[in-house]
């Protein structure tokens, strides 16, 4: 699908050992082995459970300098609008709903207006920030490790390219900091959370959404669970380890939601596809018709998405 796809599994020299991201222990046991089911790149990736605190994380991991090879143009969050061809209007409708749901979630915890400042960490092409800017008039800032400048959806967004904790963003500045499916990719979540605390106003809110390991979809799909997303996902959080991580970083948990803005159905569909494809990679353009057909069929289940603990979780934090 892409010229950038490596043809060989990653060489052992591209991996490095890593201690537990939460407690620093290097005592661990095997948890699960995964493949890159989404793009079908070769290689197997190992997740372990920390014997000290219970966090599940990838060990060894690909060195940070080479993980970008796994975020090529097929990576869904980075896709340009036009990549979807005739399905572009449908795709935009779905993504629009996604951003509306994020807005609805954060608006329960913060009142945003023209005086507010909002930061999105791992902002991709910035559609969420664009919505916040247009609907609430807030000043918006986004960080992503990919250089995505030039995207129309980043217009008016103070976009920073690079690692979040290396950015100069001032202190106690933001009313809202969001991390939508960012923390599970992070190579240094403790440093990220410390930085988030430093840039957040005392009354501000940090909203984090990640896949939920102790969910129905993981029980269904096991080593083909889309939330494994190897090798990009460094950590796999269950409810307990997510709460422990933010509390250790000095945050107070304001609320916990057993769902997210990202559609659980995406995991239900792609997990089933990954089971069939067995690591050959999912061609999203070909899968799009079955995708929407399945969504229609599962409508009765998806009406109860927020009650069923299907795939995602969100934690809302404040400063102590
Ligand atoms: Zn640990």
CB atoms within 10 A of CB 152: 11
Q: What pLDDT, on a 0 to 100 scale, did the predictor assign at position 74?
A: 55
User: How far does residue 95's CA lie from ligand 1's centre (Å)?
Assistant: 35
User: How far does residue 273's CA lie from ligand 1's centre (Å)?
Assistant: 32
pLDDT tens across 167-223, in order? 999 999 999 999 999 999 999 999 999 999 999 999 999 999 999 999 999 999 999
> Is residue 66 helix, strand or coil?
helix
Pick among 3.40.50.150, 3.30.930.10, 3.40.50.2000, 3.30.2090.10: CATH of 72-319: 3.40.50.150
Ranges of each domain in the chain: 72-319
User: How far does residue 237's CA lie from ligand 1's centre (Å)?
Assistant: 12
Rounded to the nearest 10 degrees, how much is the dihedral formed by the CA atoms of 79, 3, 267, 205? -40
User: How far does residue 292's CA lie from ligand 1's centre (Å)?
Assistant: 40
User: How far does residue 96's CA lie from ligand 1's centre (Å)?
Assistant: 37
Instruction: Establish whether the linkage from the previous residue to 231 is cis, with ω within 30° of 0.
Output: yes
Q: How far is CA 107 from the centre of its chain?
A: 20
User: How far does residue 55's CA lie from ligand 1's centre (Å)?
Assistant: 5
Q: Residue 19: which pLDDT band, with cuts at 50, 70 and 90?
A: very high
User: How far does residue 73's CA lie from ligand 1's centre (Å)?
Assistant: 34
User: How far does residue 190's CA lie from ligand 1's centre (Å)?
Assistant: 12
Residue whose C-alpha is closest to residue 231's, from 110, 68, 78: 68
Residue whose C-alpha is closest to residue 57's, from 66, 47, 65: 47
Residue 80 has pLDDT above 90, yes or no: no
The DSSP secondary structure of 139-208, one letter per residue, reads EEEEEESS--TT-GGGTT-EEEES-GGGS---SS-EEEEEEES-GGG-S-HHHHHHHHHHHEEEEEEEEE
User: How far does residue 25's CA lie from ligand 1's centre (Å)?
Assistant: 5
Q: What is the pTM of this model?
A: 0.92
Residue 91 has pLDDT above 80, yes or no: no
Contact 123, 157 (CB under 8 A): yes
């Amino acid at each position: 699908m892409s010229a950038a796809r490596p043809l060989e599994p990653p060489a052992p020299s591209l991996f490095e050992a890593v201690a537990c991201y939460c407690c620093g222990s290097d005592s661990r046991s095997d948890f699960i082995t995964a493949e890159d089911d989404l793009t079908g790149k070769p290689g197997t990736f190992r997740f372990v459970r920390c014997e000290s605190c219970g966090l599940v994380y990838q060990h060894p991991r690909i060195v940070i300098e080479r993980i970008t090879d796994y975020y090529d143009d097929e990576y869904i969050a980075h896709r340009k609008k036009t990549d979807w061809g005739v399905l572009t209007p449908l795709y935009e409708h779905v993504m629009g709903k996604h951003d509306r749901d994020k807005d609805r979630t954060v608006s329960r915890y913060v009142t945003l207006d023209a005086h507010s400042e909002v930061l999105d960490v791992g902002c991709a092409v910035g559609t969420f920030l664009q919505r916040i800017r247009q609907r609430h008039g807030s000043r918006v800032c986004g960080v992503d490790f990919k250089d995505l400048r030039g995207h129309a959806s980043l217009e008016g967004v103070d976009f920073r390219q690079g690692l979040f904790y290396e950015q100069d963003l001032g202190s106690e500045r933001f009313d809202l900091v969001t991390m939508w499916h960012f923390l599970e990719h992070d190579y240094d979540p403790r440093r990220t959370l410390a930085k988030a605390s430093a840039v957040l106003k005392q009354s501000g809110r940090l909203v984090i959404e990640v896949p939920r390991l102790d969910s129905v979809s993981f029980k269904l799909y096991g080593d083909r669970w889309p939330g494994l997303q190897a090798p990009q996902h460094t950590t796999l959080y269950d409810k307990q380890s997510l709460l422990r991580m933010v509390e250790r970083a000095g945050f107070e948990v304001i609320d916990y939601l057993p769902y997210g803005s990202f559609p659980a159905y995406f995991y239900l569909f792609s997990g089933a596809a990954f089971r069939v494809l067995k690591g050959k990679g999912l061609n999203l353009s070909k899968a799009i018709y079955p995708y929407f057909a399945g969504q229609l069929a599962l409508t009765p289940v998806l009406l109860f998405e927020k009650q069923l603990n299907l795939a995602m979780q969100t934690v809302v934090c404040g400063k102590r």
